[in-house]
Structure 1
Amino acid sequence: MRLAAFAHGGVIRSGVVDGDVLLPFPPGATVLDVIRAGSVPETGPAVPLAEVRLLPPVEPPTVRDFVAFEEHVEGVRRSVDNTAGVPDAWYDAPTFYFGNPYAMIGAHDDVPMPPGCQALDFELEVAAVIGREGADLTPEQARDHIYGYTVFNDWSARDLQSREMRVGLGPCKGKDSATTLGPWLVTADELEPYRDGDGFLRLALTAEVNGEVVGRDLLSNMGWRFEDLVAYASRGARVRPGDVLGSGTCGNGGCLAELWGLRGRQDPPPLRPGDTVTLTVEGIGTVSNTVVPGAAPRPIPRARPRPRTRPGE
């Protein structure tokens, strides 16, 4: 089953995708409501997909973005500081950072350039969406807590990200402006036939810029299964319905920065207004977003030198 959120006739609705039409839920019922309830309400008259604007299928309470592809780590590391290989710590556990749940955009929405960015990049990922609350899950238990999957494009301002991460924390404004979710949420049962002998989802991934293929990979090249990611996220914490967990960027051209690291130069060049990025995931669907001009950054003063006075002085 495929569940979508959409705008039609000035009204925001959710429903089931059936071929080239949408079967809407009752007014006010969202995909997240359906996930929490564990059942699908009766649907209304069909609406042609061609007549709607697809929205992110869920408004996630939280977003965790992992870095589960070894090849991506290797390429981007070389791009950032010309260091070869993958850090040993990467193999110990599936690292993630928390993303901005308010920055979700739909499958065909325009993407404004982040303020001050001169090196915009895409990232081809797949995200799991949580269907049941849980904590301290084993990977085996975690499989039953995944409701479905969607395409995830983690738009990245590489120049902003590179500078801010020198402070020693994770990315902030370099990842804060937009994340594409869509085109819909595919329930986990639909993708079970794609599992390989090791339990990984063997889905073909393709990235295009302006109609030219720049990346191809398999989702099964992840270092961990989604069940492992969910289990780790739930360690000492809770995952709840609607939470989004990104796979991290695939290898072999899943983003431009990886190619820059491999080639030693910005080839292909960073994204500019007018460029269209199209990402396709076998079994799920396609998202295609066009970059447009963004706002100029509002100036923020540099930090003042640290005061040396102490209490009582």
Structure 2
Amino acid sequence: MRLATIEHAGRTQAAVVAGDAVHPLGVPLLDLIRSGTLPDVPPGPGVPLAEVTLRAPLEPPTVRDFVAFEEHVEGVRRAVSGEAGVPEQWYAAPTFYFTNPYAVIGTGEDVPVPPGCAVLDFELEVAAVIGRAGRDLTPEAAREHILGYTIFNDWSARDLQGAEMRVGLGPAKGKDFATTLGPWLVTADELEPCRDGEGFLRLAMTVAVNGVEVGRDLLSNMGWPFEELVAYASRGTWVRPGDVLGSGTCGNGGCLAELWGRTGVREPPPLRPGDVVTMTVEGIGTISNTVVAGGDPVEIPPARPRPRHRP
């Protein structure tokens, strides 16, 4: 089943996508997920897909983004810090960071260049969406908590990200402006036939800028399958319905920074206003966003030296 959020006739609501039609459900998709019951396809012809506007499939309460592709880590590390190879710690555990759920957008929406950014990038990913709550899950149990999957574009301001991560903390404004989810949520049962012999989802992933393909990979090149990512995320805490867990960026051109790190040249160049980024994942669909000009940053003064008095 494919579950979307649509805007039609002045109303935004969940819908079932069936072929070239959508069948409105009358409630937000997150409410439907939290109810624990997936709908049947409503009777009738539905509304033509071409007549509705697709929004982000849901408004997630949390968004965790992993870094599960070794090839991506190798290329981007060289681009951002100049260091070669993959850190040993990467192999030990599936690392993630929390990004901003308020920055989630859908396919077709414009992406303004974030204030102060001159090196804008995309990141091609797939995300799992949690269907029911759990904590301290085993990978085997975690599979039953995954409702479905969607495409995830983790837009990145590389110059802002590189500067702020020198502090030794995760990315902040380098990631805080836009995350595309879409075009809809494909329930996990639809993709079960795509598993390889090791339990990974073997799905082709491509990304193009202005119609020219710049990246192509397989989702099955992840270092961990999604069940293990969910199990790790639930360690000592809860995952809850609607939580989104990104795979991390795929390799072989899943982002521009990986290519820059391998060649030492910013080619293709950073994204500019007018560029159209299109991502397609086998079995899920296609998302596309246009980069537009953004605003200037509101200046914040640097830290003032303090005397370090104590009470």
Task: Tell me whether the two structures share a fold, i.e. TM-score over 0.5.
Answer: yes
Q: Shorter chain as normaliser: what TM range?
A: over 0.9
For 2:38 and 2:202, the matched residues in 1 are separated by 28
Question: Which residue pairs with 1:31 in the alignment?
Answer: 29
3-state SS of 2:174 partner: helix
3-state SS of 1:127 partner: strand
Question: Which residue pairs with 2:195 in the alignment?
Answer: 195
Whether contact under 8 Å (1:25, 1:44) holds in the other structure is no
Question: Which residue pairs with 1:231 in the alignment?
Answer: 231
TM-score by length of 1: 0.97
For 2:126 and 2:29, the matched residues in 1 are separated by 18
Query: Which string of whole-angstrom CA distances, capped at 9 and with x for unpartnered residues, describes residues 21-46 of structure 1?
Result: 100003xx121222222323463751
Letter in 2 for 1:16: V
Question: Which residue pairs with 1:112 in the alignment?
Answer: 112
Are 1:168 and 2:148 counterparts?
Answer: no
Letter in 2 for 1:146: I
Whether contact under 8 Å (1:209, 1:275) holds in the other structure is yes
For 1:14 and 1:146, the matched residues in 2 are separated by 19
For 1:6 and 1:294, the matched residues in 2 are separated by 26
Whether contact under 8 Å (1:150, 1:284) holds in the other structure is yes
Residue 6 of structure 1 deviates from its aligned partner by: 1.1
Are 1:275 and 2:275 counterparts?
Answer: yes
Whether contact under 8 Å (1:16, 1:22) holds in the other structure is yes
Letter in 2 for 1:73: V
Residue 306 of structure 1 deviates from its aligned partner by: 2.6
Unaligned runs of 5+ in 1: none
Residue 164 of structure 1 deviates from its aligned partner by: 0.4
When the two structures are aligned, how many residues end up with a matched partner?
309
RMSD: 1.0
Question: Which residue pairs with 1:16 in the alignment?
Answer: 16
For 2:59 and 2:173, the matched residues in 1 are separated by 20
Whether contact under 8 Å (1:24, 1:44) holds in the other structure is no
Query: Which string of whole-angstrom CA distances, capped at 9 and with x for unpartnered residues, describes residues 96-127 of structure 1?
Result: 00010000101111111101100000000000
TM-score by length of 2: 0.98
For 2:196 and 2:310, the matched residues in 1 are separated by 62
Residue 9 of structure 1 deviates from its aligned partner by: 2.0
Are 1:136 and 2:142 counterparts?
Answer: no
Identity between Structure 1 and Structure 2 (%)? 73
3-state SS of 1:190 partner: helix
Query: Which string of whole-angstrom CA distances, capped at 9 and with x for unpartnered residues, describes residues 119-140 of structure 1?
Result: 0000000000000100000000
Unaligned runs of 5+ in 2: none
Residue 206 of structure 1 deviates from its aligned partner by: 0.2
Residue 177 of structure 1 deviates from its aligned partner by: 0.2
For 1:115 and 1:280, the matched residues in 2 are separated by 28
For 2:233 and 2:106, the matched residues in 1 are separated by 25
Query: Which string of whole-angstrom CA distances, capped at 9 and with x for unpartnered residues, describes residues 198-246 of structure 1?
Result: 0000000001000000000000000000000000000001000000000
Question: Which residue pairs with 2:100 in the alignment?
Answer: 100
For 2:63 and 2:234, the matched residues in 1 are separated by 13
Are 1:53 and 2:65 counterparts?
Answer: no
Query: Which string of whole-angstrom CA distances, capped at 9 and with x for unpartnered residues, describes residues 56-114 of structure 1?
Result: 11110100000000000000011112211100000000000001000010111111110
